[in-house]
């Protein structure tokens, strides 16, 4: 939880706050409909691998409130918000040019911020664009051993068809790193691997035929 002194900046629901975390371009509005006060707010281009600066700065965004910020040009943004209980809300691929107002709702909830969660859990969205059905996902700490020591993230009855998304939960308790290698196995026992995925900042990975490991 952030320092309680920030609560002094909270305003009644519906009040519009202003922000200037980014260089001047166009104004965009972020509406908080999560049911909780937001203490952190990030908007980063989908082409970058970090969340960047907290847009709220020294303010908070109460439930029902609107925050306005100026963003640098980008085709699409990923939005991340964190409330006073360290719950995370994420919206992927927001087209800010088409819709300059984004509403952060409870259905964007993805879990508890792993930076402060004693359970040390990370959530990752897997997007299958391999043209094949995935039957297993294995995650192992990078440079930490072979795949046999990794966690199996799909149950025996679960599959991910081509074009589908699947959100996995990775338990970080057994390791001292956020960097993981993640392998998908398809119905033909072919393997697709992403190396060195930083689960502290990456919320989604897309697997294609380019990730196929030749045997």
Tens-digit pLDDT string for the chain (215 aa): 444 444 434 433 334 444 443 344 567 889 898 888 898 999 988 888 788 889 998 888 998 899 998 887 777 888 899 887 778 888 888 877 777 888 888 776 665 444 444 445 677 888 999 999 999 999 998 877 789 888 899 988 899 999 988 878 787 655 667 789 999 999 999 999 999 988 767 778 899 999 999 86
Q: Which CATH architecture has domain 121-211?
A: Sandwich (2.60)
Sign of torsion over alpha carbons 26, 27, 31, 32: positive
Tell me, which fold does domain 4-112 have in CATH? Answer: Immunoglobulin-like (2.60.40)
Distance, in Å, from the CA atom of 31 to the CA atom of 129, rounded to the nearest integer, reads 32
Sheet strands side by side (includes 179-186): 151-152, 134-141, 179-186, 191-198
Domain ranges of the chain: 4-112, 121-211
Q: How far is CA 56 from the centre of its chain?
A: 18
Question: How far apart, in Å, are the Cα atoms of 194 and each of 12, 73, 112, 140, 171?
Answer: 45, 29, 24, 11, 18
């Amino acid at each position: 939880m952030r320092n309680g002194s920030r609560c002094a900046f909270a305003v009644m629901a519906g009040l519009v706050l202003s922000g200037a975390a980014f260089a001047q371009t166009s104004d965009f509005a972020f509406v908080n409909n999560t049911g909780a006060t937001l203490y952190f707010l990030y908007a980063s281009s989908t082409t970058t691998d970090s969340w960047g600066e907290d847009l709220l700065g020294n303010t908070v965004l109460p439930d029902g409130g609107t925050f306005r910020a100026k963003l640098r040009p980008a085709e699409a943004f990923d939005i991340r918000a964190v409330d006073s209980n360290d719950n995370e809300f994420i919206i992927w691929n927001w087209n800010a040019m088409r819709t300059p107002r984004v509403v952060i709702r409870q259905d964007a909830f993805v879990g508890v911020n792993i930076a402060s969660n004693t359970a040390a859990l990370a959530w990752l969205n897997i997007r299958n664009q391999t043209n094949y059905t995935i039957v297993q996902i294995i995650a192992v700490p990078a440079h930490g051993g072979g795949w046999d020591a990794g966690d199996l993230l799909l149950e025996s009855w679960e599959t991910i068809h081509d074009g589908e998304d699947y959100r996995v939960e990775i338990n970080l308790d057994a390791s001292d790193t956020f960097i993981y290698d993640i392998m998908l196995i398809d119905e033909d026992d072919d393997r697709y691997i992403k190396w060195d995925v930083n689960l502290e900042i990456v919320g989604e990975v897309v697997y294609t035929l380019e990730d196929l490991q030749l045997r």
